[in-house]
Amino acid sequence: MSSNETSTAPSEALPDAHTPSQPAPSAPLPSAAVSHLQQPTPMSKNALKRLRKQQAWEDGREDRRLQRKEKRQAHKLRVRSERAVLIAGGADPRVVYNRDKRANAPLVPLAIVVDCDFEPYMTDKERISLSSQVTRAYSDNRNAKYRAHLWIAGFNGKLAERFDTVLQAQQNSWKGASVFSGDFAACAVEARAQMAAKKTVALEDGAAEQEGNQKHNEQLLIGPLRRSLESPAPWPRDAHDPFPLPDLEPPLDPAYKDVVYLSSDSPYTLARLEPNTTYVVGGLVDKNREKGLCYRRARERGIRTARLPIGQFMVMRSRQVLATNHVVDIMLKWLEHEDWGKAFLSVIPKRKGGILRGEGEPAAEAEAEVEADEADGENGEQVEELDEKKGERAEGGGEQAEEKHTETAALTQIPIA
Which sequence positions are flagged as catalytic?
286
Closest CA to 146 of 236, 225, 43, 72: 225
Instruction: Return the DSSP state at 125.
Output: H
Q: Environment class of residue 250 by beta-carbon count within 10 Å: exposed (0-12), middle (13-18) or buried (19+)?
A: exposed
- Radius of gyration for the alpha carbons in the chain, expressed in angstroms and rounded: 31
Q: Environment class of residue 297 by beta-carbon count within 10 Å: exposed (0-12), middle (13-18) or buried (19+)?
A: buried
Name every residue whose Cβ is closer than 8 Å to that of residue 292 and which is 6 or more positions away in sequence.
243, 245, 263, 265
* Sign of the torsion formed by the C-alpha atoms of 70, 71, 73 and 77: positive
The two beta strands, 277-282 and 259-262, are parallel
**Residue environment code for 231-242, b if the CB has 16+ CB neighbours within 10 A, otherwise e:** eeeeeeeeeeeb
Angstrom CA distances, 233 to 228, 229, 269, 289, stand at: 7, 9, 11, 33
Closest CA to 109 of 205, 194, 211, 230: 194
Report d(CA 414, CA 412) in Å as an integer.
Answer: 5
Q: Is 363 helix (H, G, I), strand (E, B) or coil?
A: coil
Closest CA to 283 of 140, 107, 132: 132
Other residues' Cβ atoms within 10 Å of the Cβ of residue 7: 9
Contact in structure between 114 and 73 (CB atoms under 8 Å): no
Contact in structure between 266 and 295 (CB atoms under 8 Å): yes
Report d(CA 354, CA 24) in Å as an integer.
Answer: 78
Report d(CA 210, CA 250) in Å as an integer.
Answer: 45
